[in-house]
């Protein structure tokens, strides 16, 4: 599905922005389901503002808010259709260079206008390290995104550095690289509603404070190759290991467990 030039750009830079993966109708279906889910869960604890002194400094104001829901495919069928979308998985197969793709997890982050939380530069590797580093993220924009409304920023090519084990600071479980890789020197990503930004979990990335009057909604799909293994038993999610493309020949057969009342 992707051109050789697109695949090479991803290899060189560790990320790529893709347009036209979803039809306008599919984007509307996802967007409507997203809004319905957050409205349905209103009143529940959805606040997921990232903590730490440096994060508060980056925010420059309080309260700083980001709303989050994980495992969206367990809430609405529209999200199950999203993670099994043929065009999306065709692109992911080209970029991941494997026909066997497994689900790791999904989540939504909604940055409200004027005080949507920023996120300092980091690698996702530190949260769920894998042996072969096949882990990638597909960041699906449900609004036009820019630095003004809390969009993504990246350090192109930083995935080639490998795991940065000398983390600048770890605060309450968060691993940041804000000193040596400030967001002020990162490359902002401007995206349209429906665009998909794919990046390696080794890529240094973060996001800006939403200081605009516009919301920033995103859906994040994290994927891994079927031949890869975690080095740490962490970040388990429901349906983790679900085969989205190809086969998982390494998985053992299993029998149902008898239920005794």
DSSP E strands: which ranges in 56-165?
Answer: 67-70, 101-111, 119-122, 136-141, 152-154
Inter-residue contact 126 to 167 (CB < 8 Å)? yes
**Backbone phi, psi, residue 23, to 5°:** -75, 165
Distance between CA atoms of 231 and 138, rounded to whole angstroms?
A: 22
Q: How far apart are CA 190 and CA 146, in angstroms?
A: 5
Q: What is the pLDDT along the chain (261 residues), one digit of tens a residue?
A: 899 999 999 999 999 999 999 999 999 999 999 999 999 999 888 877 656 666 666 666 666 688 999 999 999 999 999 999 999 999 999 999 999 999 999 999 999 998 888 888 999 998 899 999 999 999 999 999 999 999 999 999 999 999 987 554 444 445 566 678 889 999 999 999 999 999 999 999 999 999 999 999 999 999 999 999 999 999 999 999 999 999 999 999 988 776 555
CATH architecture of 4-245: Sandwich (2.60)
Helix (H) / strand (E) containing 233: none
- Name the pairing type of β-strands 169-171 and 216-225: unpaired
Q: Which CA distances in Å does 25 have to 21, 42, 132, 167? A: 12, 26, 36, 42
Report the first-to-last Cα separation within the chain, whole angstroms.
51
CB atoms within 10 A of CB 60: 10
């Amino acid at each position: 599905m992707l051109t050789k030039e697109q695949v090479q750009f991803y290899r060189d830079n560790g990320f790529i922005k893709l347009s036209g993966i979803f039809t306008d109708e599919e984007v509307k279906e996802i967007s409507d389901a997203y809004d319905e889910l957050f409205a349905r869960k209103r009143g529940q604890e959805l606040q997921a503002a990232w903590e730490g002194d440096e994060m508060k400094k980056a925010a420059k104001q309080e309260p700083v808010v980001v709303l989050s829901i994980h495992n969206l495919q367990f809430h609405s069928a529209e999200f199950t259709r999203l993670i099994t979308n043929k065009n999306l998985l065709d692109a992911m197969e080209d970029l991941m260079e494997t026909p066997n793709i497994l689900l790791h997890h999904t989540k939504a982050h909604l940055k409200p206008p004027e005080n949507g939380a920023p996120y300092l530069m980091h690698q996702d590797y530190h949260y769920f390290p894998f042996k072969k580093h096949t882990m990638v993220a597909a960041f699906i924009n449900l609004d036009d995104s820019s630095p003004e409304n809390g969009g993504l920023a990246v350090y192109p090519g930083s995935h080639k550095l490998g795991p940065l084990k000398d983390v600048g600071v770890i605060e309450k479980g968060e691993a940041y690289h804000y000193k040596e890789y400030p967001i002020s020197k990162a490359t902002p990503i401007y995206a349209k509603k429906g665009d998909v930004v794919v990046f390696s979990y080794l890529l240094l990335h973060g996001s800006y404070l939403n200081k605009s009057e516009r919301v920033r909604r995103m859906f994040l799909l994290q994927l891994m190759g079927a031949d890869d293994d975690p080095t740490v038993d962490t970040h388990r999610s429901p349906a983790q290991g679900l085969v989205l493309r190809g086969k998982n020949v390494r998985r053992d057969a299993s029998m149902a467990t008898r239920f005794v009342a």
